Each structure stands twice: as C-alpha cells, then as structure tokens.
Structure 1
Amino acid sequence: MQINFKKDILPHFLGILSFYLIVLLYFSPIVFEDKLMFQTDILQWEGSAKEILDHRETTGEQALWTNRMFGGMPAYLIHLQPKGDITNVLTTLFTLGLPHPINALFFGMAAMYVLLISFKIRSEISVAGAWVFAFNTFNFLSLEAGHNAKIWAICIVPLIMAGIHLTFTGRRLIGIAITALAVMLQLKFNHLQITYYTLILVAVYGMGQLICFFNAKKLPEFIKIAALLLLAAFIGTAGNSARLISVLEYGKYSTRGERNLQDKEDSQAGLDRDYAFHWSQGKVESLTLLIPNFYGGASAQALPENSESEKALRAQGLEAGQVNEFIRGAPTYWGDQPGTGGPIYGGAIMVFLFVIGILFAPSAYRNIFLAMALVTLALSWGKNLAWFNYTLFDYLPGYNKFRAASMALGITLFAIPVLGCLGLENLMANINTRKSRQSFFTALGITVGLILLGMLIASWMGYRGAAEEMYPEWLREALRADRRKMLQSDAIRSLLFIALTAALIFAVMMQKTKNTWALIGISLLLLVDVWGVNRRYLDKDSFTYNPSQQYFAATPADQKIMADQNYFRVLNLQNPFNEARTSYRFNSIGGYHGAKMGRYQDLIERAINPEISQFVQKAQEGNFDYESIQVLNMLNTKYVMAGRGENAVFVNPMANGPAWFPAEITTVTSNEEEIAALTDLDTKTEATFNSQQTHIAVNPGSGQVQIENYQPGRLEYNAEVQQAGLAVFSEIYYPEGWRAFINGEETDILRVNYLLRGLMLPEGNTSIVLEFSPKGYLTASAIMVIFQYIIVILLGTSLFLTFKKGIP
C-alpha cells in the first residue's frame, strides 16, 4: 500500500516535533544552560543512593544492600540497574536524547498522541490532547517536588491503553507489542501505586469492551483478545521481573506488609488508615480542575502587590521586611489537605471539551472514559468519601499498601483529555446538525454553570482555612479577601478561555472559518491556558546550577565525622527519619523513604524516639547520658549530630561497635515481649532471642570481633573466641538474601534484639563473612534481560509489518 507523505507522515512528524520543541522551550534552562531544578525529593534520593552509585562507579557492580539509611535496607528500593538492562537505552531513544526527568513529559505527549490516533481522532485534536495531558499542573507540581518516577509512570499510561485499544480494534500484533513494551517501561520506574491505578483503568476499559462484545454475541472473540493481552502483560512484566520480584519480596517486611506487633489498635497488614488517607482531595476542591485558584493555590503562595493582606499588615505598623516575608509565602490555600504545592488544574478548555465528550463521544467510549474519570476522582477524595475508599482499603487486594489518595487525580487527568478529544472529534464531524448545536450550547451552559456554582459555594464557605487560625482576626479577614479575589480572577480567566474556544467552534458552525483553523486556534488556547498556570509554580527561578553541590557541601560537622575512618553510624537529631543528607556520607540511623522496614519502624516508635527525646532533654541540662540510649548504642551510633557546626557533633563513647558477645541472653516468645525487653536492656552485656524462630540452642560466649572489610553487600570479620556462643552484630536482620559463612562454611543467621543479626561462633580464631545475594533477584535478572530483547524484537517486527501493510 502506497504511503502519502503529506497525509500519512507529515501530520505525525509535525506533532512529534511540536512535543519536542515545547519541552525544549519551557525547560530551556535545563537543556541550554545546564541548570537543574531544585527537586527536594531527588536531592533526598541522591543522598540515599550515594553509596550505591559510588559502589557501581568503583566496582562496576550493582549494590543490592546499603547501610546508609535506617541502619540498613535493600538497595533495590532506592536504585537498581541490573547488568544487561536496556530500558535506559530505550527511554533515551524514545525521548530523542532529552534529559531526565523532562523527557517523561515528551514521552507522555507522544504516548497520548498514539492513543488518540488509535481512536481515529484527527491529528490537530490529538496534538492538543497530548499537550494538555503532559502539561497539567499535577505533572508540573510533581516535577518540582522531585516525584520523577511517578511522572514517568503516569506518562506511560496512555501507551498501555493504546496497546490494549489497538488489540481490541483488530491491530493485534502492534497492539500486543506496544502493551508489552509499555508494561515493561512502567514497571521499570517502580511506582506500584500508579501501576495499581493503571490496572483499575484497564479493568474499566475491559468491562466496557466485554459489554460491547457480549451485546454483539462475540464473547469467544473477547476471551481470545483478553488472553493475548494477558500474554503481552506477562512478557512486559518478565522484562522487569528482577525489580518487581525484589520489591514484592521486600514488601512483606516493610511498613506496608504484615504487622509484627499485634498489640497495636490496628493489627491488619498494610499502612495505617489515617496515614494512608492523610492527603485526601476535598470533594469541592475538585473544582480546581476548572478554576486553578478556587481553593487559594498553594499552601504558601506569593500575593500580588497591594493585596488586602499587605494593606492590613502595613496598617498595623509592621516593618517592610516582615510584610514582604509574609506576602512572599502567604497561606492562601484553604482546602481540606494538610498542605499542597498548588492546585490540580486540568485546563478550563479541556474540562469544557470533556463535557462536550459526555454529549458527543460514541456511547461505548463515553461510558468507559467517563467511568475512569469518576472512579479515579472518587479515589482521590480518600477519607472525604469514606464509605467507598475505606471499603476498597479494607478489601481490595494490595490497596492498603498505598498512601496519598489525592495521587489518583493524576489518572483523572488522563481520562479527561481522552474523552474531551473524542467529543471534539465527533462534534466537528457532525457540526452542521441542529442536534449538535443544541448539545454544544448545553455543554457550554453546564461548564459556565459549574464556574458560577463554584464561586457561589466558595462565597458561602467564606474562604476560611485551617492555616489561618494562628492569625489575628484582622489578618484573617484580609486573607479571605485576597482568596476571594484570587478565585474571582481565575474564574474570569477560565470563562474567557472557554468563551474563546466556544466562539471558534461556533464560527465553524456558522461556516465562518474552516475546521482546521478553528482546531489550531483551540489547540493554541489550550497550550496557553495550561502553560500560564504552570508558570506560577515552575518558572525560571525554579532552575539553578548544580543544586546538589550546594545541598551536600561538607559542613564543619561533616568534616569532623569524616576524619574517623572506622565503621559506625550517625544520628542526626534534625528531623532524623525524614532526611537523607546524612546518608550522603555516613551510615545513618535515619533516612528518607516511604517504605521503611517494618521492624525498624517499630523500633523507632517504641525505643529510638523515646531515647532521643530523653537524651536531648538531659543534654539540654548539661547531662550527656549515653548509657541511657541502649538501643542507639546497639546500632553502633558513635556520633550524634545536632547541627552543622563542628561543636554540634558529639561522640558517643558507649556505642557497642560492629559486633560483641553478650554475657546474658534473655529468651522471649513473642515480638511484643522482645521489643518491651529492649527498653530495660543493657545491650552491651545482654541480648534477647525469640525462641519461636528456631530450635537452635543459644548460649552466651566471649571474645572479640573485629570488622576487617566492608562493602555494601558484604562484611568480613575476624573473631578471637574464648568461649563458643552468640555474637551480636550491629547489622539489620533481613530474612531474604543474607548468608553467613564461618570459616568458609555456611551457617544460620539468627535474629536477636528484635532486628539485629546474631551468629553462633565456634571457639578459636574465626573468619566471618556476611554476604547479601538474594536468589530471587539473581535468577530474575537474567530472565529479565532475555525478555527485554524479546519485546524489542516483537516491537520491531510489528512496526515493520504495519508499515509494509500501510498506515491505517
């Protein structure tokens, strides 16, 4: 079949080119000036991954364990790049060399374009839908925060759905290949919550297709297609099996797995319900999809010059510096969430088109994508729709592993553009009918009515927020006045964009302009709309030269500790369990990760936090009571850091060291009994052992143990043992993958002191090796690479045959 370049190639080329140029233009400081975004979460990741990256640079090997965070944890939760893995090469190829993480936005546009084209939506509309999908504020706020994996996972969703849709609509080979590729890439970025939401989308789409095939009496055909897609999903999953198996294995032992302490009020597996739904979108707050500043914008947002708050502050006689400080970060947000970096805005024009889609899209696809939007919107409401979300949390398999319900809005903003573009396509195809005109004005009335209703609701609620409670009444009133002006300004802005879009569509109805010119105008309006709102939160001031160099620059406190080349851990008293800067250089008691080991979290809550609190209180009185921090001592906490100055570092002379022989062993029979015993234990001379884990006789020994060599996943010791018995190591116990060798012979690793490793050592001069080699990962990594090449071959073959047959 002959290919027409102007019809079959040029529109797609221009679309892809526009995606590339838009990313280049918006993020020009990154591309052309070598600047970077100051992404807090990425800086934290860099601190936590430093040991892993250094190990690879030095040895060429992937570190599977790191001691830099929370005493020690599997490294594949932080960074994993198995040998032979080609997914990085593929993402670089597919994004035309754009730098990470902005390449995700280009990929998202291209993926959405493929999906919309697969629905036979014309190129002009598909390009506009792709722009809006990638450039919504959810992605940009996530980008600013450093949630790069989340953005990538969301931007791959359209490609997964495109593969599935192509398979269902008769283009099976290319559909299966795209599905397998997209599943592999999404799993690469290891954001299982977004993958879970993707499965919900697939279920909704599949249900819609099942109804269609059932009504057409083609149920066997549906089963055949579903089987092929399951095969594609299996191939894609196998292409990332090493990552997936490792994460799923760890999940059982993390804070998202089974509880170890059954005396807690909620002993079920998974996250605590209050924690999981802490960030829940308010129902009314969903109007930010249409009016960005409906709820005041960000938790801390600059107010315009001569705002009511500025006038009120000046009237009270405050100094200019104090006024400016407040105005630069005013608490404008008054919604239900504890805080937000900004509103989730889908574009007023696209919401208008979404309403058009409800009225104009083909009924089967209207129902599918409307259901997707409504379900994910309901998920984002979290605790504000408790009957629905708590039921899912309690009964839907695996759903209780996830938190931040508002994240589901990222998926809502996938469904809205698809239905909007379907609606616009079908409106333009049938624009000259009387029914179309009536439905068009109905959609316009509904959208405008929503804006007016939102303004009425906000006025009735009085623009009151929890963040203002600390302020005097005169300042509260001023803040509320500013919030009202922000809402009104954005409401007028949204009305203007909708009016211009409606005017272009109406001009086509009146045959005053051609479809193509009207669609180009609508596309540009869409881009200007979302671009302008994004600039409020991610502008030229968001880029800087090498933020990590500034963030990780060695302080006098760091330099003092760095002078000690021995093996130890550091406790940073400044927000210890929510920072990874310490992990950049030292083995840290704290860290920064959303899925700590469950036993370590228990220890933090029951022992470490109380010890820190008591120690700090005594230290402030001049009494540095190191003997009282027995749990920190058993974790070999040699340094306590209270600031960045040299005099803010305190040496703990009571740290137990890398390993020791306790003189007394307390036998317990439950986790509750064991962790309770730690509060009164002299960890240097006593140890606890849960007799339920093994029938091995455990007796105290004596001698000395010295660490000889340390690597992230391998520790070597030499011991002089006077009396055979139990030696305790200040290493975190993890049951999957750690192996111990005494004088070359493998032996069992015991769990002692609730979460440390213990070994029964024989008398005499003893060499000890602790090595982390998880069998699941090692087996899966080889299989993974094979399936990655299978996917590449499958994709290449399908593309060749598709182009050979001709572009449909």
Structure 2
Amino acid sequence: MKLGFKALLTHFFVLVFFVIAALLYFNPVLQGKVIQQSDIVQYTGMAKEQNNFRKATGEEPYWTNSAFGGMPTFQLGAYYPHNYVKKLDSIIRFLPRPADYLFVYFLGFYILLCCLKVDYRLAALGALAFGFSTYLIIILGVGHNAKAHAIGYLPMLLGGIVLVFRKKYTWGFVLTAIAMALEVGANHYQMTYYCMLLILVLGMVYLVDAILKKKLKHFAISIGILLVAVVLGIATNATGLMATKEYADWSTRGKSELTINPDGSPKENKGGLSKAYITQYSYGIVESLNIFVPRLFGGSNGEDLGESSKTFNFLMDKGMTRTSALNFSEELPLYWGDQPGVAAPAYIGAVIFFLFVLGLFIVQRKAKWWLFGGTIMSLILSWGKNFSLLTDFMIDYFPLYDKFRAVSSIQVILELCAPVLAILAVNELFTNKEVIGRNINALKIAAIAVVSVLIGLLLFKGMFSFSGSSDAYMKQNFGDLGPELMSLIQLDRKAVYTNDTLRSLLFVVLTATVLWLYIKGKIKENLLVLGLAILILVDLVGVDKRYVDKDDFVSKRQMNEPFKQKPLDQQIAKDNGHFRVYDPQEGLNGARTSYFHKSIGGYHAAKPAGIQDLFDFHLYKGNVGVLNMLNVKYVVQQDEEGRSYPATNPEANGNAWFIKKLTAVSSANGEIQGLGTLDNKNEAVVNTASFPAINRFNFQTDSTTTIALIDYKLNRLTYTSNNENAGVAVFSEMYYGKGWNAYIDGTLTDHFKVNYVLRALKIPAGKHTIEFKFEPKVVKEGSTIALASSSLLGVLILAGLGFTFWRSRRKEEG
C-alpha cells in the first residue's frame, strides 16, 4: 500500500507540473485575458440569441432564429438534461481557457504512456512533446476548441484499451468507458472517427499477435469488455449524438433531395459531402516533410519575418513607409504548399521525429506496429486528392468517411502515434541499457537516415519552384510592382526553407549526441531526461511561439463582445418588429449580423441544407422574391462613400400570410425551381410526393383576412388569424418537422412544408390562435437513455472498484 501511495503522490506532482506548464505557456490568462480565437468570435455571434434567452428565462430553447433563417442549437452549445459527462469534463478542465485544453493534452498522453508501462519521467516528457506539437497549439489559436477537446481525450481512450489487452480488465474497463464518454462528449466526431480508424489498426495488430501466440480467448474477452465500455461511454452522450444525427440529415452533411445543380446539370446525389469539398485541404506528399522541418513549405499564410526579410527591404527601397513595409513583412504569404492555406505547419518536432525513427529500429514491443501503422495510415490519407486511389476508395466504400471535410486533419493520428513511439524508444534504452552494441547501431542507423534526408533537402532545394497558388493574385494586386515583389517573397521562402532545415539538422545532431552519451554511460537517466526535455521544449515551443503567443490575447470583454455596433445596427434596432436582415457582403458565411439581428447568413461547418440551396439556386442570382418570403426587411448596402446602411425592403412578406393557391409539384427539383417565377405573396409551391395528403389547392381571401405574430420566443411563436374562409397560411419560418409542432386553439395540427423551406398550415374559417412550439422528441428520448446509461456505468464502475479492493485485501490476507 505504501508503494501505491508513493505512486499516487508521484502522479499528483506530475499533474501539478502540467498545470504549471500550461499556465506558463498561456500566461496571459493569469491576468484575466482570453485568447482571441477567430472561430469562437463567429460562434459567439451565432449563439448570442440562445444565450440571451437562456439567461433571461432559465429555459433551453434548442432553436435560434438569428442564423440561417432558423436552425436547431444542437451544434451551438445546447444544454441537455442528465449530461453528467459534461460535469466531469468541467472538473478536468478547471484551468482558464485555453490552458485547460493544453492540460488535457498533457493529462491524456501521460495516462496513455503510463498504461504502456513507461517510466513516469519519460511519460511526463512525452506529454510535453505531444501537448506542444505545433498543430495542437495552432488549433487553440484559431478557436477549433471542439477539435482540441476531442484530441485531448484520444490518448486516454487508447490507454484504457491497452490496459484491457494487458489483462487489467477492471481498470481498463473503467478508463475506456470514462474516456469514451469524455471523447464523444467533446462533440468533434471527425476526430473521434479518426481515432476509431487507429483503433482498428491497433485491433488488427493485437489479433495477429493473439493468433500467433494462441491467445484468442484473451483477445475475445478483451474485445467483449471493450465493447461494453465503449457502448456505455457512447450511450451517456445519447442526447447529443441523436440530436446531431437528426440535424446532420437536415444539413449539408445529409443526403440532398435535389438531383440537379443550380445550372440544371445532373447532381452527384449521395449522402455526405462532395469529393472536391472533402479533399479541398489535401496535404502535399513532399509537403508532409514539414512534420520535422517546420517552414519547408513556407509555414503559414502570414509569417512574421519583420525587418530581416528581403521583402521588407524591397518595399522600403520602393518608397513605402516603414510602418507599412513592416506591417506587410509581419504577414508575409510564405506558404506555397498544395492546400488553399494553412495557419501553421503540422510540426511534431525534429527531436521527436528522430526519436520516432530510432524507435522503428529499437522498440521490440507490438505497440510499435500499431503506432507505425497508424502513422502511415494517417500520412497517406492526409494526402487526399494527391493520393486519390486510396482516398476515393475510402470516400466511396468506407462507412461515414464522406461525412467529414479537410482530410489533412487526419494527421492528428500521426501527431499522436509518433511521440508515443519516440518515448518508447527512450524507454527501451532505459530498460535495456546493457545491450550497448545494439543501441549504438540503432542510433547510427537512425541518425544516418534522418541526417541524409535533411542534407538532401539542402542539396536539392533547386528542384522546388517556391511558387504558390496565390502568387498570381499577389502579382496582379500590386500592379507593376507585383512580379518583382513576388520574386522577393520567393527568396524569403527559400531563406526560411534553408534556415529551418539547418535548424532541424542541429536538433537531430544534438539529440543523437545526448543519446550517445547516455548509451556510453557518460550521463545518467535524469540528465538524459533533462537534456531531451530542454531540446524538445526549445524545438517545439520555439516554433509554437511563431503562431500563438501573448499578442493573441485580449481582454475578456473584447471576446465576450467581439462585434462593435455600427450606426446601421442602431438604426435597425429601433424597429421593434420581428424580421430578418441580410448583408450581401457577409453572404452565407459570417456571424456578425447574427450577433445583432436575425440573419439568413451565419457561420457553421454544417449549414442547413435548405438555406444553402436557396442561396445557390436563387439568392446568388438576385431573386428578390426569396428574400421577401424569408421576411428580409433590411438589406445592408453601401453608399457612394463606402459607408454601410440598411436599405428597407418594403416588399418583405412579413411573419405570416394567407395564400390563394398551392401549386403542386412532384419533386424537390420542381419545388426549388418553382420559386423562380412564383408570386409567393399569393401562391406557394408544395411537393405532394412528400405531403400526399394535400388535396385542396385553391383558397379565397379578402381584405379582412389577417394573420399576425403576437408573441415571439425562440421556442414558441404565437399568432392570431381571422379569415371568413378556410385557408392555408405560410409562415416565414424554417420547416423542421422533427421538432416544431403546430397548435390551433390548443389542438395539435399537422403542418407541412412549402416553398422548399417554409412552414404552412391549414387554418379553419374564423378567428383562431395558432402556436408553433419547438418540442424536439430527440432531447427527451436521448436524455432518458443518457440517464440510464450514466447510472449503469456508475454502478459498474463502483462494482469493479469494489471487486478490485476486495481482491487486493484477499491477497494481503492470503
């Protein structure tokens, strides 16, 4: 028991060290500052209406009208009942953001290495190497918080799986179930999906090992335990998963009802995203070498070279002011790789890469094979369209692969596997220090291999053009100076290529030297760990600081109120009605308007499919009638001096209106095409294939016919109507049949979809009160499953821990 207490104390101090390291790197949080994350700025705009409603009423709306004409908040931070996983996660992420995510990086990786029976000193070292991997830092800088959140729990999940295969069934079950719950709760299913691909590789390695060693019984038991743990972990997040699935089918991630493109040509009609969209961000094959040479392909779209750049001196010589020249040189477009643009290279570190290569030669454990296999799988799949044979196969045949974009992001698996194998290599030197000859030979081979690649990059850099896809735009944008300016930028690209290659070469040589001294017995283990720690931190943090540093932090108020109110916003705010605003400059992609008003635009990776189609088929072509039916009362315009102002649209249809005619079509194609010539103030188009019960198409209205919105809440809209005849009213609200219910005088009544995206309702003659209530069944059903699963998981964990304690006591007594 004393040993157990000592181990717990050791782990406690390691965690304290991680807290200190996270706070030191993001030290502005200690001054109450927050990091300015571009994606979070947009999210703040999207979520403001629901957050205000929640604060004012204490209710959870599950719907917002501030973005895309209206959408569920399932992917906008909705709160669900019985979400105990979120409470556990908030305990783990107790540090201020983004230090909390960095701490989770450290914690998860440390747990994985401990599960692999790595010396705690090396486990802590590996955690630092993983946490400070440049890609993991830069996603915190730009605001990909959900992605960072999910990545942080991936190694913890792997740790639980490893424990089960090590026959630590109880602790393995507990860790796997908890980690799976936290992983799914992080709500970035693309990262979770990629982790499952790695787990498939891991499973195949363990299966082959079980067959060779005739241990299939243990393998089957392990799989059974893991399946129960994974299912329970997933089920605790049932509400979020079910709601996300429901929304995904309604979004651009689902299968479109349309079989034509806006130009009338046949559409590739399949569930998921198009291949072009999925592979837009495909890593270049040679570009992948930037995992150990950071600016091999320029680094990012905005590199800060300051006064040391050739471009700065050129601009000064051309008469540009020092301030202007310096501003330009601090955001040099140095990236020239295959992707549309990057915020930073996916750099894992020259030191870690060298140790990874060493691990390929020196590590004898089966873990080497799934780590190596995961690395290769991740690397090749990240090439996307540059290795279309495999990518097309995965998109066409592998389940769910076509639901995710930016294939380059699968390199997170490489960034996880490489440092694990790197640390296992050092751990091998610790545990087998007596085999000096083997260790020296492995060190020589690894050093020769890596150094040869680096020297080759230096000798053959003339093979590269150092020109990027955006260079032509740069030349054109700067007129007569463009060609010469571009040639100077290319010289700066060559300079950082050479400098960073030499930098990586230096780190490799220093790392090899430190390892050689240890193998030869010149230095002890603690000195080796200290030396590697210094090299890894100087290497990685030195690159990280190029992209995320204290200058990226601002006051908390600035992030909580990221958009400043303009005169046009103040003018629109004087109108107390309920309507929408459209800013053509923002278009479909931007949440500024959503922050102040109800917008038909927004910012989300999975937009509602209906509004996307309306933009593609009509709004981008100037169909004002579609703006009218969406009740867009104000359109942001610019005057002759470039100042924005809200132009009133007097033709907006309002919140609801009775129509005289329903025009029947038999397909979604006909429905959206019908909007081109539709008199939508008096007519509506309905797809009778989706609503076959519609059997009346002509109605009477007169000057006394009225319908008006009298009470507005996010999750409840109340109208009064007066019509001498039975008729059909159209509402300028998005149709979402799996949550919105219509009530006429308190009686639930079926409503239907018209005009491709809007709600319509048959209303009897006379005066009536109509209510639309958002009552998503998925929340109630999912919450019930989550509660039952959490309770069962809690009971199993307590039972397992009790059994472990009982067994340990029996061993002591025996």
TM-score range normalised by the length of the shorter chain: over 0.9
Q: Distance in 2 between matches of 1:799 and 1:41?
A: 41
What TM-score, normalized by structure 1, do the two folds share?
0.94
Q: Which residue of 1 aligns with 2:358?
A: 356
Which segment is superposed worse, 319-328 or 208-217? 319-328
1:631 aligns with 2:626: yes
Q: For each residue in 1:496-538, what CA deviation from the matched residue of structure 2 results, as whole angstroms up to 9, or x when unmatched?
A: 2222222221111221111222122212321221111111111
Q: Point out where structure 2 has 5 or more consecutive residues left out of the alignment.
A: 262-266, 476-481
**Closer, same or farther in 2 for the Cα pair 1:497/1:654, shift >3 Å?**
same
1:548 aligns with 2:559: yes
Cα drift, residue 803 of structure 1: 7.2
Cα drift, residue 157 of structure 1: 0.3
The residue correspondences of 1:341-490 to structure 2 (distance < 5 A) are 341-433=343-435, 434-469=437-472, 470-471=474-475, 472-490=482-500
**Closer, same or farther in 2 for the Cα pair 1:701/1:42, shift >3 Å?**
farther
Q: For each residue in 1:2-30, what CA deviation from the matched residue of structure 2 results, as whole angstroms up to 9, or x when unmatched?
A: 42655x23432332122110111111111
1:215 aligns with 2:218: no
Runs of 4+ in structure 1 over 4 Å off:
643-647, 792-808
Q: Distance in 2 between matches of 1:24 and 1:585?
A: 34
The residue correspondences of 1:557-706 to structure 2 (distance < 5 A) are 557-611=568-622, 629-642=624-637, 648-693=645-690, 694-699=692-697, 700-702=699-701, 703-706=705-708
Q: Any idea what SS the aligned residue of 1:666 has?
A: strand
Q: Which residue of 1 aligns with 2:479?
A: none
Q: Which residue of 1 aligns with 2:13?
A: 14
**Closer, same or farther in 2 for the Cα pair 1:802/1:518, shift >3 Å?**
farther
Q: Distance in 2 between matches of 1:315 and 1:106?
A: 47
Q: Any idea what SS the aligned residue of 2:258 has?
A: coil
Q: Distance in 2 between matches of 1:660 and 1:210?
A: 64
Q: 2:153 aligns with which of 137, 156, 164?
A: 156
Q: Which residue of 2 aligns with 1:260?
A: 257
**Which amino acid is the alignment partner of residue 106 of structure 2?**
M
Q: Any idea what SS the aligned residue of 1:245 has?
A: helix
* Backbone CA RMSD of aligned residues: 2.0
Q: Which residue of 2 aligns with 1:620?
A: none
Q: Which residue of 2 aligns with 1:327?
A: 329
Q: 2:758 aligns with which of 745, 753, 756?
A: 756
**Which amino acid is the alignment partner of residue 21 of structure 2?**
I
Q: Which residue of 2 aligns with 1:59?
A: 57
Q: 1:741 aligns with which of 743, 749, 753?
A: 743
Asked whether the equivalents of residues 659 and 705 of structure 1 are also in contact (C-alpha less than 8 Å), the reply is: yes
Which segment is superposed worse, 35-44 or 306-315? 306-315
Q: Any idea what SS the aligned residue of 1:576 has?
A: coil
Cα drift, residue 235 of structure 1: 0.6
Asked whether the equivalents of residues 2 and 806 of structure 1 are also in contact (C-alpha less than 8 Å), the reply is: no
Q: Distance in 1 between matches of 2:439 and 2:644?
A: 75
Q: Distance in 2 between matches of 1:692 and 1:457?
A: 63
Q: Distance in 2 between matches of 1:79 and 1:509?
A: 52
Q: Distance in 1 between matches of 2:428 and 2:89?
A: 34
**Closer, same or farther in 2 for the Cα pair 1:804/1:130, shift >3 Å?**
farther
Which segment is superposed worse, 526-535 or 80-89? 80-89
**Which amino acid is the alignment partner of residue 59 of structure 2?**
E
**Closer, same or farther in 2 for the Cα pair 1:795/1:100, shift >3 Å?**
farther
Cα drift, residue 474 of structure 1: 2.5
Cα drift, residue 802 of structure 1: 5.6
Report sequence identity in percent: 36
Q: Distance in 1 between matches of 2:455 and 2:718?
A: 70
Cα drift, residue 801 of structure 1: 6.1
**Which amino acid is the alignment partner of residue 464 of structure 2?**
M
**Closer, same or farther in 2 for the Cα pair 1:537/1:800, shift >3 Å?**
farther
Cα drift, residue 800 of structure 1: 6.6
Asked whether the equivalents of residues 306 and 326 of structure 2 are also in contact (C-alpha less than 8 Å), the reply is: no
Q: Distance in 2 between matches of 1:564 and 1:188?
A: 40
Across the two proteins, how many residue pairs are aligned to each other? 789
Cα drift, residue 189 of structure 1: 1.9
Cα drift, residue 317 of structure 1: 3.7
Asked whether the equivalents of residues 299 and 344 of structure 2 are also in contact (C-alpha less than 8 Å), the reply is: yes
Asked whether the equivalents of residues 128 and 527 of structure 1 are also in contact (C-alpha less than 8 Å), the reply is: no
Q: Any idea what SS the aligned residue of 2:74 has?
A: helix
Q: Any idea what SS the aligned residue of 2:87 has?
A: helix
Q: Any idea what SS the aligned residue of 1:559 has?
A: helix
The residue correspondences of 1:718-737 to structure 2 (distance < 5 A) are 718-737=720-739
1:39 aligns with 2:50: no
Which segment is superposed worse, 323-332 or 167-176? 323-332
Q: Distance in 2 between matches of 1:768 and 1:735?
A: 17
Asked whether the equivalents of residues 303 and 330 of structure 2 are also in contact (C-alpha less than 8 Å), the reply is: yes
**Which amino acid is the alignment partner of residue 58 of structure 2?**
G
Q: Any idea what SS the aligned residue of 2:254 has?
A: coil
Q: Distance in 2 between matches of 1:537 and 1:647?
A: 33
**Closer, same or farther in 2 for the Cα pair 1:800/1:104, shift >3 Å?**
farther
Cα drift, residue 408 of structure 1: 0.8
Q: 2:227 aligns with which of 222, 225, 230?
A: 230
Q: Which residue of 2 aligns with 1:3?
A: 3
Q: 1:311 aligns with which of 303, 310, 313?
A: 313
**Closer, same or farther in 2 for the Cα pair 1:15/1:511, shift >3 Å?**
same
Cα drift, residue 89 of structure 1: 2.6
Q: Distance in 2 between matches of 1:29 and 1:447?
A: 37
Q: Distance in 2 between matches of 1:724 and 1:452?
A: 83
Q: Distance in 2 between matches of 1:457 and 1:610?
A: 50
**Closer, same or farther in 2 for the Cα pair 1:419/1:543, shift >3 Å?**
same
The residue correspondences of 1:131-210 to structure 2 (distance < 5 A) are 131-210=128-207
Q: Distance in 1 between matches of 2:3 and 2:726?
A: 81
Q: Which residue of 2 aligns with 1:300?
A: 302
**Closer, same or farther in 2 for the Cα pair 1:805/1:438, shift >3 Å?**
farther
**Which amino acid is the alignment partner of residue 605 of structure 2?**
G
Q: Distance in 2 between matches of 1:448 and 1:173?
A: 45
Q: For each residue in 1:614-641, what CA deviation from the matched residue of structure 2 results, as whole angstroms up to 9, or x when unmatched?
A: xxxxxxxxxxxxxx61001000001112
Q: 2:281 aligns with which of 279, 282, 286?
A: 279
Asked whether the equivalents of residues 738 and 771 of structure 1 are also in contact (C-alpha less than 8 Å), the reply is: yes
Cα drift, residue 322 of structure 1: 3.8
Q: Distance in 2 between matches of 1:646 and 1:333?
A: 34
Q: For each residue in 1:756-794, what CA deviation from the matched residue of structure 2 results, as whole angstroms up to 9, or x when unmatched?
A: 110010000111111111212211113213433444554
**Closer, same or farther in 2 for the Cα pair 1:802/1:343, shift >3 Å?**
farther
Cα drift, residue 548 of structure 1: 2.8
**Which amino acid is the alignment partner of residue 67 of structure 2?**
M
Q: Which residue of 1 aligns with 2:507?
A: 497
Q: Which residue of 1 aligns with 2:264?
A: none
Q: Distance in 2 between matches of 1:304 and 1:101?
A: 27
1:117 aligns with 2:127: no
Q: Distance in 2 between matches of 1:9 and 1:755?
A: 58
Q: Distance in 1 between matches of 2:797 and 2:59?
A: 30
Q: Distance in 2 between matches of 1:516 and 1:231?
A: 41
Q: Distance in 1 between matches of 2:674 and 2:295?
A: 53
Q: Distance in 1 between matches of 2:313 and 2:777?
A: 66
**Which amino acid is the alignment partner of residue 468 of structure 1?**
D
Q: Distance in 1 between matches of 2:197 and 2:700?
A: 56
Q: Distance in 2 between matches of 1:405 and 1:806?
A: 47
Q: Distance in 1 between matches of 2:170 and 2:69?
A: 48
